[in-house]
Amino acid sequence: MESKIISDSDKKNTNTNKLEELEARRSLAQLGGGEEKNKTQKKKGKLLARERLSLLFDNGEFEEFDQFITHRSQEFGLDKQKYEGDSVVCGVGQVNGKQVFAFSQDFTVLGGSLSEVASMKICKLMDHAVKTGCPVVGINDSGGARIQEGVESLAGYGEIFRRNTMASGVIPQITVIAGPSAGGAVYSPALTDFIFMVEEIGQMYITGPEVIQAVTGEKVNHQELGGSKTHSQKSGVVHVSTKNETECFNKVRELLSYLPSNNLDDPENLESSDSVNRISEKLKSIIPNEANQSYDMKEIIREIVDSGKIFEIHKDFAPNIITCLSRFNGQVVGIVANQPLSLAGVLDIDASVKAARFVRFCDAFNIPILTLVDVPGFMPGVNQEFGGIIRHGAKLLYAYSEATVPKITIIVRKAYGGAYIVMGSKELRSDINLAWPSAEIAVMGPEGAVKIISRKIIQESENKEETQNKLVEEYKDKFANPFVAASRGYLDDVIDPSTTRSKIISSLKMLQTKSDNNIPKKHGNIPL
Ligand code: HXC
């Protein structure tokens, strides 16, 4: 048989042709669904999938995976509609100098719908993230399961949901909703730690407006049903709502700066230019003289943290409790605080669930918890009882009880009833419990308590109002102060409010090497 000897110049030509093919295929992949679809995406006010990843990663740089994957479907004409990379762009890069994995659904390819291979890409990325111990950011802009593929696409979602669950508490998972997220597809975001939504373009719902109208007769538009206002204020599905995509990705980067890469790491300590021993005179007079007067708890928080900087989670949902990340002398701390400005800081269903989830996140990722208490109790009311305040409130008890990270609690004013116990009490394994002199720790507020325990005396007295006022004053003298609790050791100290920052920093230092474990078990049974 005659053999052909390939010359060096032939080899060079062949290699050049192969490189040209590679470049041509890459350029095609970069086009996503094509120029027309890209234009339509822009007209809808949305960025392209790769532009979004550029906003997320340091210097806009990332490495892509699986650019040449294509779907295998033959039905409904899909055999003639193939796109290099299919409907999701997957990549790895740096965020604040640390490795992060991210996927970005490409709406220009068949509406970003999830195909079997798109799911394979996402799952591969998530597997890499878990094995290497790095956070995952998922950018959602999709019409849901690829209808033409049927069960293959449904199974794809199942594979993602399982990985979301297994990665929960191992690596931080963050979702960005920058387009539609409909049907069962919403459950992948819901299984992640934080959901960001971009106003106007982001929407999430199980069933859209048309189906709702057909089934229940209710009329609602897409934004009212599943837009950022709805989910960041009413449902609590969204943790951070932003005006536009640039703000959104800046916020995601900011959040990541507070988080460790995985559950075995600690969050990064940064240099702080704020003085450790900074005294805040303002805190001495921040609590109003009248018990039922409100004030802004955020003012206290901003006074004590490094340079007044906080990252709020669920800012507009259950505003009667504040959950935020911040730093003390450069160390990351999660803060839970009652907000007297909203519903007097009472604990209701939404506040309990919001705080419980935050406490569990902090505990999973080695973030110490600071609790600032001014709580008049659990919210009374038929709606609250029917809504299950018992089981929802129990979530917060459960979360604090099981948390083993350093826990510091400061009672600044009211700590009444069950809410005293819930909000990081000593009994729920808090390490350091402090109080301001303005603290009032009691089973309930003075007026309510006197009406119950002294009803007979008041009724039988000549001047009921005078008697009641006198008894209220007596009750206040006895209980409306921190010294009874301090004398029993339920508090470690009563402090001058102006020194709060330095006390927190010294407590954190003392607790730096804290080690505590729960009894080994398969898993607990948190009241759901
Ligand atoms: C295949 C889809 C698709 C899907 C959209 N497209 N959704 N293709 N499967 N799920 C295609 C459209 O046919 C269209 O193709 C292109 O994407 C753009 O869609 P438009 O409708 O033109 O865009 P827009 O007007 O912006 O509307 C977006 C939308 C709408 C609101 C998302 O497309 C829509 O309602 N899609 C269906 C949503 C849905 O019900 N999905 C199934 C959910 S159930 P052409 O070629 O015309 O450009 C689900 C189950 C998951 O996901 C279960 C997991 C457990």
Number of neighbours of residue 341 by Cβ within 10 angstroms: 16
Confidence at residue 185, expressed as pLDDT on a 0 to 100 scale: 87
3-state secondary structure of 221: coil
**Would you place residue 6 in the very low, low, confident or very high pLDDT band (cuts 50, 70, 90)?**
low
- The backbone region for 523, taken as left when phi is positive above 0, alpha when psi lies in -120 to 50, beta otherwise, is beta
Q: Residues 100-125: what's their mean pLDDT?
A: 97
Q: What residue owns the CA closest to ligand 1's atom 6?
A: 111
Confidence at residue 160, expressed as pLDDT on a 0 to 100 scale: 98
**Atom of ligand 1 lying closest to residue 37 CA:** 48
Confidence at residue 246, expressed as pLDDT on a 0 to 100 scale: 98
> Of the candidates 153, 163, 91, which has an alpha carbon nearest to the alpha carbon of residue 127?
163
Confidence at residue 14, expressed as pLDDT on a 0 to 100 scale: 76
Per the prediction, the chain carries an average pLDDT of: 95
Q: What residue owns the CA closest to ligand 1's atom 53?
A: 184
At 458, give phi and psi (nearest 5°).
Answer: -65, -45
**Ligand 1 test: best mutation among 147, 152, 153, 204, most atoms within 8 Å of CB?**
147
For residue 138, report the distance from its CA to the centre of ligand 1, in Å.
19
Confidence at residue 183, expressed as pLDDT on a 0 to 100 scale: 86
Q: Where are the alpha helices (DSSP H) in 238-388?
A: 245-258, 297-304, 349-364, 382-387
**Ligand 1 test: best mutation among 110, 142, 221, most atoms within 8 Å of CB?**
110
**Would you place residue 4 in the very low, low, confident or very high pLDDT band (cuts 50, 70, 90)?**
low
Q: Residues 415-433: what's their mean pLDDT?
A: 96
Confidence at residue 311, expressed as pLDDT on a 0 to 100 scale: 98
Q: Is the pLDDT of residue 474 over 60?
A: yes
Q: Residues 204-212: what's their mean pLDDT?
A: 93
- Known catalytic residue: 445? no
Confidence at residue 242, expressed as pLDDT on a 0 to 100 scale: 98
CA 208 to chain centre: 25
Residue whose token pair is 């948390």: 403
Q: What residue owns the CA closest to ligand 1's atom 36?
A: 143
Q: Is the pLDDT of residue 390 over 80?
A: yes
Q: What residue owns the CA closest to ligand 1's atom 34?
A: 143
Q: What residue owns the CA closest to ligand 1's atom 25?
A: 111
Asked whether the beta carbons of 70 and 84 are under 8 A apart, the reply is yes
**Ligand 1 test: best mutation among 41, 42, 113, most atoms within 8 Å of CB?**
113
Q: Residues 395-414: what's their mean pLDDT?
A: 98
What are the structural domains of the chain?
Answer: 33-258 (3.90.226.10), 283-439+481-510 (3.90.226.10)
- Known catalytic residue: 236? no
> Of the candidates 257, 278, 266, 254, which has an alpha carbon nearest to the alpha carbon of residue 504?
278
Q: What residue owns the CA closest to ligand 1's atom 20?
A: 111
For residue 256, report the distance from its CA to the centre of ligand 1, in Å.
31
Catalytic residue of the set 178, 419, 480, 485: 419
- Known catalytic residue: 418? yes
Confidence at residue 359, expressed as pLDDT on a 0 to 100 scale: 98
**Could you read off the pLDDT of 218-265 as tens digits, one per residue?**
999 999 999 999 999 999 999 999 999 999 999 999 999 999 999 999
For residue 111, report the distance from its CA to the centre of ligand 1, in Å.
5
For residue 107, report the distance from its CA to the centre of ligand 1, in Å.
9
Confidence at residue 339, expressed as pLDDT on a 0 to 100 scale: 98
Strands 331-338, 407-416: pairing is unpaired
Confidence at residue 519, expressed as pLDDT on a 0 to 100 scale: 96
Confidence at residue 3, expressed as pLDDT on a 0 to 100 scale: 53
For residue 66, report the distance from its CA to the centre of ligand 1, in Å.
23
3-state secondary structure of 100: strand
Q: What residue owns the CA closest to ligand 1's atom 19?
A: 111
Q: Is the pLDDT of residue 471 over 60?
A: yes
**Could you read off the pLDDT of 50-99 as tens digits, one per residue?**
999 999 999 999 999 999 999 988 889 888 889 999 999 999 999 999 99
Euclidean distance between CA atoms 45 and 290, whole angstroms: 50
- Known catalytic residue: 184? yes
> Of the candidates 233, 237, 367, which has an alpha carbon nearest to the alpha carbon of residue 311?
367
Catalytic residue of the set 183, 226, 227, 424: 183
Asked whether the beta carbons of 405 and 379 are under 8 A apart, the reply is no
Q: Which residues contact 372 (CB under 8 A, 6 or more apart)?
A: 297, 300, 301, 335, 336, 337, 338, 409, 410, 412
For residue 289, report the distance from its CA to the centre of ligand 1, in Å.
58
**Atom of ligand 1 lying closest to residue 142 CA:** 32
For residue 75, report the distance from its CA to the centre of ligand 1, in Å.
16
Q: Residues lining ligand 1, CB < 6 A? A: 110-111, 113, 143-148, 154, 157, 180, 182-185
Q: Residues 30-45: what's their mean pLDDT?
A: 96
For residue 317, report the distance from its CA to the centre of ligand 1, in Å.
30
Euclidean distance between CA atoms 431 and 407, whole angstroms: 5
